[in-house]
A and B are shown apart, each in its own frame.
Chain A
Amino acid sequence: MADNVLNLFNTHSRRFDALLRPYLDDLYRLACRLCGDEHDAEDLVQDLAIRLYPRLDELEKVECLRPWLARVLHNLYIDAIRKRQRRPQGYVDNDSDMHLARLQDRSYGPEGRFELDDLQRQLAASISSLSEEHRYVVIMHDMEGYTLNELTEIFGVPLGTLKSRLHRARKLLRDALGTELSE
């Protein structure tokens, strides 16, 4: 009888890496949008990875991982906000003025990788002025490209409610930006 050859290719860490790595950049972008700070964003994604590591079997059964991961990340962010309300440190800052300052501070100057134009500066201010539920739907749909159907799963709200939030959020942004959106 031939020997049975055991292999290492299904180790926990290797399976976890293969599953999560393709989504890390997307998760970082989303975390950046939510947190408004790249260091906080990396901390948030790190927190997510640490929590998911022992849940590999569950992860492997998820059909559409991208929106599933976005939902978990969003929930972690919300949890962090709640904790922050009790504890004055953490990787999110729920103060809209601080969030705005961080967004506007992303011009990075001549040595940075990019600079924001006037429209984007004003956009940053306008996004920060939105309520949380309006901001989330704009970030996840208009900025990060999650479909409305995916967002119904992520937020656990009906499609009609999401459309209404999105419509309202866009209206508020356009009103705030005014002539900036006139061509």
Chain B
Amino acid sequence: MKCEEIIELLDDYIDEMLPPEQRDLVSTHVSACASCRQELASMQLLRDALRNYPVKPSSRGFADNILRNARRAHNRGRPAMYMAAGAVAAGLMMLLVAGIVRMDVNQAARPAAIQKVEMTVLEQRTISLAFNSPNAINEVTFILDLPEGIELSGYPEQRELVWKDALSNGKNVLQLTLMGKKPMSGSLKATIEHAGKRREFNIPLNVREVGASLTTI
């Protein structure tokens, strides 16, 4: 091949876009032709300079900040898509929840009664929410709204969690590990949505300072 033809192939050569036969032809030619070898070296030098052109590092905590801000931007007001997702199969009418039958694994079961959760600042407490469903339901949207002063283990700074799951016929247990961040009295709201229907449950919470006496239950 002539040098002009070889030079036309050099872009594809360095991009590894040539079929094996042509690649061998170019390799053979440049090893014997000083001019084409120089051309190839110049192209590779440019390519290396471009590849190695530096980028200033991102700011500290860049990835965490990006993801947190994205989450916050949508949690400020619950995005309409979540509501739409929960509104599928709107023709079905189901009684989703007979009641939360047990609040705390450490406490005696009290069907349909919601007990107040008492904890101290920085204490971790695992609670179990049991949802009784008379039917299996494939697509259910769960929403947890956490009051200020309470954090869910593994989800720092998140006030709202939204996710989808399925309910089985019978008892469905959701375990939550809560941590008291500062003294507060309020409630955690658990909402279940399906087919345009929703049920809300408020779980009263009380977080007190370490050493403070328990005055109310």
Contact = CB atoms under 8 A, between A and B. Distances in A.
Contacts of A28: 55, 58, 62
Given A4-B167, A20-B67, A54-B74, A163 B49 contact: no
A5 interface: yes
A32 interface: yes
Interface in B163-214: 163-165, 167-176
Interface in A11-52: 11-14, 16-17, 20-21, 24-25, 28-29, 32-33, 38, 41-42, 45-46, 49-50, 52
A119 interface: yes
Interface of B, helix, strand, loop or mixed by DSSP: mixed
A179 B50 CA distance: 16
A24 B62 contact: yes
Interface stretch (B19-27, B37-45, B92-100, B108-116): B37-45
Given A42-B59, A50-B73, A177-B46, A6 B67 contact: no
A174 to B, nearest CB: 6
A170 B46 contact: yes
B70 interface: yes
A119 B142 CA distance: 57
A4 B173 contact: yes
Interface residues of A, number: 57
A167 B13 CA distance: 12
B82 to A, nearest CB: 8
Interface of B: 11-12, 15, 17, 41-43, 45-47, 49-59, 62-63, 65-67, 69-71, 73-74, 79, 81-82, 130-131, 142, 152, 154-155, 158, 161-165, 167-176
A127 B67 CA distance: 32
Interface string A95-112: 000000000001010000
B8 to A, nearest CB: 9
B12 A16 contact: no
Nearest to A167: B11
Contact of B164 (A10, A116, A167, A181): A10
A173 interface: yes
A181 B45 contact: yes
Interface of A: 1, 3-8, 10-14, 16-17, 20-21, 24-25, 28-29, 32-33, 38, 41-42, 45-46, 49-50, 52-54, 106, 108, 113-114, 116, 119-120, 123-124, 138, 141-143, 145, 148, 163, 166-167, 170, 173-174, 177, 181-183
A6 B173 contact: yes
B165 A53 contact: no
A114 B52 CA distance: 12
A148 B15 contact: yes
24 contacts: A4-B171, A6-B131, A7-B174, A8-B155, A8-B176, A13-B71, A16-B67, A16-B70, A20-B67, A25-B58, A28-B55, A28-B58, A42-B58, A42-B59, A54-B81, A113-B57, A114-B54, A138-B50, A141-B15, A143-B51, A143-B53, A148-B15, A174-B43, A177-B46
A39 B168 CA distance: 49
Contacts of B65: 46
